[in-house]
Amino acid sequence: MRFHQILLSLASIFFPVVMQVAAAENWPEFRGPTGDGQASESLLPSEITEESVAWKVPIHGKGWSSPVVWGDQIWLTTAKEDGTEMSVLCVRKTDGKVLLDRVLVKNDEPAFCHPMNSYASPTPVIEEGRVYVHFGSYLTACLDTRSFDVIWERRDFVCDHHRGPASSPILRDGKLFVAYDGFDVQYVVALDKATGKTVWKRDREIEYGTDNGDLKKAYGTASVIDVNQQSILVYPSAIATVAYDIDSGEPIWTVYHQGMNASARPIFRDGLVFISNGMGAMVAVSPEGAGDVTESHVAWSAERAVAKKSSALVIDGKLYMNSDDGIVTCRDSKSGEVFWQTRIDGKYAASPIYAGGKIYCFGMDGEITVFTPGDEFRPVSTTQLGDGYMASPAVVGNTLILRSRSTLYCIH
């Protein structure tokens, strides 16, 4: 009896550790398994340099999609700079061998894409046996990760992205969620992940207050949060963010925060949803309301030193944000009060990550700044690697997968 009690005690100690390690072995979607850029159990080098590189492989074309990882496979997308071809790649994590490099879309006359964007900006989402790639209205497809065959595809969703697509799909409860917030139309779609058939489609019910389609665009990626035993799909758009019932697509609440071009992924921590509007402002919202919650459920808002492109980190009651021009800010997550603010080298579009007690920021010209979170800015290192980062990184175990403008790196 005593022996079995000891075994049970050991299991209670080690089993959670095993589960944490297992969870860190995959990075399935934009900003990782929890959608918030955190890999707290991972141990990464304090300085990221050429000496840290286990392997690197050139990636052709231009694409800002972040890498996703499942097992020994890294998936990402790219495109010709003029948009005439759009491709998917699979790279082996152990040695960097390219297992698949396939053109999925050919365009004779692609629509305009802003130079700051790319024709392959949406990040894929992956699960056991399947990967889902998205190129906006050009293509959404599901591939078998073993045979590399296309299981299903959709090319029938109409949208004038005007400056190029960038919203990344996510998976939850057997459905793939995709937003089309374009110049002409704005809507959200839920697809059956097994077949690609439409489960529901919901037009944005937002009072934009303008007929200018350029002010209705957004590039946001959704987050699914659980509130009072209900799963809610929180989907940013221009001007506002709408929370939907994930099964029916019925709107639950809407918060107006102004601004277009929203690209940051919402984060749900400390009882609040943190939403950036893409124009340098943000709101922290209680997700327990219904209808228009702008006046009733906004805990705090901010309009200074807010990132327009990258997503935030929330760690131990503090919100960290790296703005486009390199201003790092630490706020109280409950009140929005600024604890400290400092400037680091470079300009930023990629979202930071938190790993092994440190925050890592990746600049558009190759700067990598590492610091320790806390009540004051504590720099660890500033280094340079590669030709700049538009894509956000992936972390699996103690390995960092970095995509620069031209190269995929594996860092140990």
Q: Is the per-residue pLDDT at 80 higher than 80?
A: yes
Q: In the predicted model, is pLDDT for residue 13 greater than 90?
A: no
pLDDT at 19: 36
- Single-letter residue type at 255: V
Residue 309 has pLDDT above 90, yes or no: yes
Q: 3-state SS string over 9-69? A: HHHHHHHHHHHHHHHCCCECCCCCCCCCCEECCCCCCCCCCHHHEEEEEECCCCCCCCCEE
**What does the block give as tokens for 405?**
């403008």
- On whether the pTM is more than 0.75, the answer is yes
pLDDT digits (tens, 9 = 90+) for 25-44: 899 999 999 999 999 999 99
Rounded to a whole number of angstroms, the distance between the first and last alpha carbons of the chain is 44
Rounded Cα distance between 245 and 232, Å, is 5
**Can you tell me the distance from the alpha carbon of 329 to that of 327, in angstroms, rounded to the nearest whole number?**
6
Question: 325-338: per-residue pLDDT in tens?
Answer: 999 999 999 999 99
For 69, the token pair is 């990882």
pLDDT at 6 over 50: no
- Nearest-angstrom CA–CA distance, 29 and 27: 6
Task: Kindly tell me if the per-residue pLDDT of 96 is higher than 90.
Answer: yes
pLDDT at 294: 98
Question: What rounded mean pLDDT belongs to the chain?
Answer: 93
Query: Rounded to an integer, what distance in angstroms lies between the CA atom of residue 165 and that of residue 246?
Result: 23
- Over residues 150-174, the mean pLDDT reads 97
Q: What is the DSSP letter of 111?
A: P
pLDDT band at 3 (very low <50, low <70, confident <90, very high): very low
Q: What is the mean pLDDT of residues 257-264?
A: 91
Across the range 193-222, mean pLDDT stands at 96
Which residues, in sequence order, are bridge partners of residue 408? 57, 403
Closest CA to 324 of 168, 116, 123: 116
Torsion of CA 7, 8, 11, 12, to 10 degrees: -150
Q: What is the pLDDT of residue 352?
A: 98
**Residue 12 confidence (pLDDT) above 60:** no
The answer to whether 157 touches 140, Cβ cutoff 8 Å, is yes
pLDDT in tens, 353-404: 999 999 999 999 999 999 999 999 999 999 999 999 999 999 999 999 999 9
Bridge partner list, 251: 244
**How does residue 11 score in pLDDT terms, banded at 50, 70 and 90?**
very low
d(CA 383, CA 362): 10
Q: What is the pLDDT of residues 99-127, one digit of tens each?
A: 999 999 999 999 999 999 999 999 999 99
> If you search the block for the tokens 């996510």, which residue do you land on?
170
Taking the C-alpha atoms of residue 273 and residue 386, their distance in angstroms, rounded to an integer, is: 34
Number of domains in the chain: 1
Query: Average of pLDDT values for 146-175?
Result: 97
Question: CA 245 to CA 376: how far, in whole Å?
Answer: 40
Give the separation between CA 24 and CA 355, rounded to whole angstroms: 11
> Which of 278, 282, 370, 283 has the alpha carbon at shortest distance from 324?
278
Q: Starting at the edge strand that comes first in sequence, how are the strands of the sheet with 85-92 ordered?
A: 68-70, 73-79, 85-92, 98-106
Note down the domain range covering 83: 2-411
The residue count of the chain comes to: 412
The answer to which of 174-183, 192-201, 301-310 has the lowest mean pLDDT is 301-310
> What's the average model confidence in pLDDT over 210-214?
94
Q: Helix (H, G, I), strand (E, B), or coil: what is residue 4?
A: helix
| pLDDT value at residue 14 | 42
Degrees (nearest 5) of the Cα angle 288, 292, 294? 85
**Of the candidates 28, 110, 29, the residue with the CA atom closest to the CA atom of residue 62:** 110
Average of per-residue pLDDT across 300-309? 93
The CATH number covering residue 97 comes to 2.130.10.10
**Could you give the CA distance from residue 113 to residue 240 in angstroms, rounded to a whole number?**
24
Q: Which residues, 6+ apart, have CB-to-CB distance to 40 below 8 Å?
A: 354, 355, 356, 357
- The pLDDT of residue 305: 87
User: What span, in angstroms and rounded, lies between the C-alpha atoms of 382 and 368?
Assistant: 6
Sign of the CA dihedral with 200 first, then 206, 208, and 211 last = positive
- Residue 10 scores a pLDDT above 80: no
Q: Looking at residue 102, what DSSP letter applies?
A: E
Ramachandran quadrant class, 370 (left: phi over 0; alpha: psi -120 to 50; beta: rest): beta
Q: Percent of the chain, pLDDT > 70?
A: 94
pLDDT at 382: 97
pLDDT score, position 24: 62
